[in-house]
Amino acid sequence: MKNFLITLCLSITFCGSAQKKYQKDYYDNGQLKAEGWVKDDVKIKYWKFYHPNGALQKQGRYKNGKPTKYWYFYRENGTKKSEGHYVKGLKSKWWLFYDENEKVNHKCQLKNNEKNGYCLLYANEELISAEKYKNGQRIGKWTDLESFKKENSVWDLQ
């Protein structure tokens, strides 16, 4: 009877819990397309995606099938394209965008996939202008640091 109860408990626990597995997806040409963890056919944990040429395309974490936390994106030639935060599957907080030489050409505050806050634009690694957005619409622009400082708080950039 004791063995039966132990077996029954183990069976219920095993059958009641979803299986987590490592999954690999491939392009038609056999090249690796994506790899990561799934549970009940939903992406979880860390994933990597690849361009058809085999170069890394993007990498980051999933929670309940939605991107979460910090992600990195790359061009087909392997150079970094952008990086930033996801919150509940949407781009949020500061995002950095790179030129072909992997130099930051702008960084923006995002909320719910839209510019919401400041965007700082760079040329040759020097700040050349700043823009302010609300719900994706530009509401201000500055091309010199002094006027920007007068009209804005440094705390807004955090």
Residue 83 is encoded by which pair of tokens? 């990086």
Q: Are residues 54 and 103 in the same domain?
A: no
Q: Are residues 144 and 104 in the same domain?
A: yes
Q: What's the distance, CA 157 to chain centroid?
A: 20
Q: What is the tens place of the pLDDT at every residue in 124-155?
A: 989 999 999 999 999 999 887 777 777 776 56
pLDDT surpassing 90 at residue 13: no
Q: Are residues 96 and 73 in the same domain?
A: no
Residue 78 is encoded by which pair of tokens? 């392997």
Q: Are residues 122 and 148 in the same domain?
A: yes
Give the total number of structural domains in the chain.
2
**Cα separation, 54 vs 52, whole angstroms:** 5
Q: Provide CB contacts within 8 A for 7, sequence distance 6+.
A: none
Note whether 139 and 133 are within 8 A (CB). Answer: yes
**Residue 9's pLDDT band (boundaries 50, 70, 90)?**
very low
Total residue length of the chain: 158
What share of the chain in percent tops pLDDT 70? 85
6-16: average pLDDT: 45
pLDDT the model gives residue 10:
42
**Nearest to 24, CA basis, from 12, 16, 32, 15:** 32
- Nearest 5°: the CA angle 33, 39, 43 is 40
**Nearest to 121, CA basis, from 149, 98, 91, 147:** 98
**Residue 3's pLDDT band (boundaries 50, 70, 90)?**
low
- pTM tops 0.85: no
Residue at 10 is within a domain: no
Q: Are residues 45 and 106 in the same domain?
A: no
Q: Are residues 25 and 74 in the same domain?
A: yes
Note whether 76 and 61 are within 8 A (CB). Answer: no
What share of the chain in percent tops pLDDT 90? 75
50-72: average pLDDT: 97
Backbone angles phi, psi at 14, to 5 degrees: -65, -45
**Residue 11's pLDDT band (boundaries 50, 70, 90)?**
very low
pLDDT the model gives residue 34:
98
Residue at 99 is within a domain: yes
pLDDT surpassing 70 at residue 81: yes
Residue at 8 is within a domain: no
Q: What is the tens place of the pLDDT at every residue in 41-53?
A: 999 999 999 999 9
Q: Are residues 105 and 147 in the same domain?
A: yes
Residue at 137 is within a domain: yes
pLDDT the model gives residue 30:
93
23-52: average pLDDT: 96
Specify the residue for token string 């944990």.
45
For 127, the domain range is 91-158
Q: Are residues 96 and 156 in the same domain?
A: yes
